[in-house]
A and B are shown apart, each in its own frame.
Chain A
Amino acid sequence: MIAYFCMVSGEGWSRRNAEAAQERDALANSSSPVIAAFKVFQQELDTRHDKYERLVKISRDITIESKRSIFLLHRVTNIPDPEVVLNEAESKLDGVRQKIGQIAEELRGEDIYQFHRAFTPGIQEYVEAITFLHYIRHRSLISLEEINAKLVFMKTGNGLAEAPPSSAHVLTFQVTPADYLLGVADLTGELMRLCIGSVGNGDIDTPFQLSQFLRQIHDGFSYIGNTGPYEVSKKLHTLRQSLGKVEDACYTLRVRGSEIPKHMLADVFCTRTTHMDTEEGVV
């Protein structure tokens, strides 16, 4: 008896489902107000998602190009004429700025924070590259205003049908203080690599300059502490490690620099840093 009941109810279910599916199809084709409303929502959501995806794509391109300019800049330590490399990096970053111009174009008339998550990795990488370049040139930290001042774009109105061809409008992109901060935190890792690299080339002065600069940045981050965004506190840990490595390098140079012939300095240094790395792996 029970088994029979189950069978009937099972049949009822499938029939019921088929009816429901038919009903749904009929509804989807009908012009009921609910369906009409959802068609509007569909369009709005699709437009928004498309824009988001386009921004993610631009951001990825920016990340790649910025990373390449950073790699390029690391070569300044072992070539005679750094100016060539610096100019090449500068022109690469010009290309990156063009891409940031595309972001500014996409965001025209939008709330930039609505799509911020789409492009923040790219912008941070750009900040890292431009601060690195600026440091190598001027031995100082580029300010947020200086970065933003470079992100002003003149667009001719040829993309828009209603604008007369001669008119140009100005687009700006503002790097947020949080993105700037995170970019600077990434910069410290590059400075550490630059320090180790320059020691390898027998450059004795740069490590001391770098350790001073890194200490200033470290103090700055300690001053901000946990009032900043959540990611900052994560990066602070890596920053401490980088600073430790640079300070250790300076220590070694001071203690043993006078004893060792210059051409052997690199070897001493390499063994010492690798030793440090393995230590970290254990901890």
Chain B
Amino acid sequence: MSVTEMFSYIQGFLSADQDVREDIRKVVQNLEQTAREILTVLQSVHQPSGFKEIPSKCARARELFCTVRTHMAELKTKFPAEQYYRFHEHWRFVLQRLVFLAAFVVYLESEALVTREEVAQILGIEVVREKGFHLDVEDFLAGVLIMASELSRLAVNSVTAGDYGRPLRISNFINELDSGFRLLNLKNDPLRKRYDGLKYDVKKIEEVVYDLSIRGLAKEPESGGDK
């Protein structure tokens, strides 16, 4: 095989690769659009009036997740299943956002941490790599960390809206999350950087709880903040 032939073979491979990336980018754009819509729906819980509407907002978000599932199904057809990590960078960001949104919806509904299986089900993807398009554990954790900072914001706003019980529950939840993350041995990677931000969320919520407890506003019997 001559040098010229070899290079044109490689060139053919490279342009095929670019076509696949182009296709993926298009679907990912749609996913990003839907993710923004869901975020807009959920953002309204920070409004003083939004606290009463949490169930209806969550229902609306869950409807929008149907669109996410169709986009995901489309994305799966764009590349061979065993080459997931080759194109991972293209959807990594949006997938983390979607995990955050799913986790946030589940938290608002049940005040519990979403499991990886639940997120995969909401997004219409798999948990295990062998079964196809899956949810990488690092992406899942990154999404959970985005939710933690959203919750610290929610704690502040719920006080403004006159809901004094919520910050205490959020505080307990975040503390549990923090001790969960302490179990992980993270490398010096993007996930580690994001985890380093968690302590500020914890601190912020503790400040809110402190403010409430010195003023005697935290009167929930089961919470430990009013000793």
Interface residues of A (CB under 8 A from B): 9, 12-13, 16-17, 19-20, 23-24, 27-28, 32-35, 37-39, 41-42, 44-46, 49, 111, 113-114, 116, 140-141, 143-144, 177-178, 180-181, 213, 216-217, 219-221, 223-224, 227-228
Stretch at the interface among B45-53, B70-78, B159-167, B170-178: B170-178
Contact check, A16 vs B6: say whether CB atoms are below 8 A apart.
no
- The CA of A143 and the CA of B175, in the complex, are separated in Å by 57
Q: For chain B residues 1-50, which have a beta carbon within 8 Å of chain A?
A: 1-4, 6-11, 13-15, 18
Pairs across A and B, CB under 8 Å, 7 listed: A24-B178, A28-B182, A38-B184, A41-B184, A49-B185, A141-B1, A180-B10
Contact check, A224 vs B186: say whether CB atoms are below 8 A apart.
no
Which residues of chain A have C-beta atoms less than 8 A from B11's C-beta?
A: 223-224, 227
- The CA of A213 and the CA of B2, in the complex, are separated in Å by 10
Chain A interface main SS type:
helix
- The CA of A227 and the CA of B17, in the complex, are separated in Å by 10
The answer to whether the Cβ of B63 comes within 8 Å of any Cβ in the partner chain is: no
- The CA of A13 and the CA of B178, in the complex, are separated in Å by 18
Contact check, A28 vs B179: say whether CB atoms are below 8 A apart.
yes
- The CA of A38 and the CA of B183, in the complex, are separated in Å by 7
- The CA of A141 and the CA of B4, in the complex, are separated in Å by 10
Contact check, B3 vs A220: say whether CB atoms are below 8 A apart.
yes
Contact check, A49 vs B187: say whether CB atoms are below 8 A apart.
yes
Which residues of chain A have C-beta atoms less than 8 A from B112's C-beta?
A: 33
Contact check, B210 vs A13: say whether CB atoms are below 8 A apart.
yes
Contact check, A177 vs B224: say whether CB atoms are below 8 A apart.
no
Which residues of chain B have C-beta atoms less than 8 A from A114's C-beta?
A: 84-85, 88
The answer to whether the Cβ of B137 comes within 8 Å of any Cβ in the partner chain is: yes
- A23-B175, A46-B185 given; A12·B214 CB < 8 A: yes
- The CA of A221 and the CA of B140, in the complex, are separated in Å by 40
Which residues of chain A have C-beta atoms less than 8 A from B201's C-beta?
A: none
Q: When the two chains form the complex, which single residue of A16, A34, A39, A220 contacts B4, counting CB atoms closer than 8 Å? A: A220
Contact check, B10 vs A177: say whether CB atoms are below 8 A apart.
yes
Interface residues of B (CB under 8 A from A): 1-4, 6-11, 13-15, 18, 82-86, 88, 112-113, 115-116, 129, 137-138, 140-141, 175-187, 206, 209-210, 214, 224, 227
Which residues of chain A have C-beta atoms less than 8 A from B206's C-beta?
A: 16-17, 20
Chain B interface main SS type:
helix
Name the residue of chain A whose CB is nearest to the CB of B187: A49
- The CA of A107 and the CA of B7, in the complex, are separated in Å by 28
Q: When the two chains form the complex, which single residue of B13, B18, B180, B227 contacts A35, counting CB atoms closer than 8 Å? A: B180
Name the residue of chain B whose CB is nearest to the CB of A229: B14
- A24-B175, A42-B184, A143-B1 given; A111·B85 CB < 8 A: yes
Contact check, A144 vs B83: say whether CB atoms are below 8 A apart.
no
- The CA of A217 and the CA of B2, in the complex, are separated in Å by 10
Q: When the two chains form the complex, which single residue of B9, B129, B138 contacts A45, counting CB atoms closer than 8 Å? A: B138
Contact check, A220 vs B6: say whether CB atoms are below 8 A apart.
yes
Q: When the two chains form the complex, which single residue of A32, A41, A113, A180 contacts B86, counting CB atoms closer than 8 Å? A: A113
A173 CB to closest chain B CB (Å) equals 15
- The CA of A253 and the CA of B15, in the complex, are separated in Å by 41
Name the residue of chain B whose CB is nearest to the CB of A181: B10
Contact check, A111 vs B184: say whether CB atoms are below 8 A apart.
no
Which residues of chain B have C-beta atoms less than 8 A from A13's C-beta?
A: 210
Which residues of chain A have C-beta atoms less than 8 A from B183's C-beta?
A: 28, 35, 38-39, 41-42
Q: Which of A37, A213, A223 has the most CB of B within 10 A?
A: A37
B21 CB to closest chain A CB (Å) equals 11
- A220-B3, A220-B6 given; A227·B178 CB < 8 A: no
A19 CB to closest chain B CB (Å) equals 7
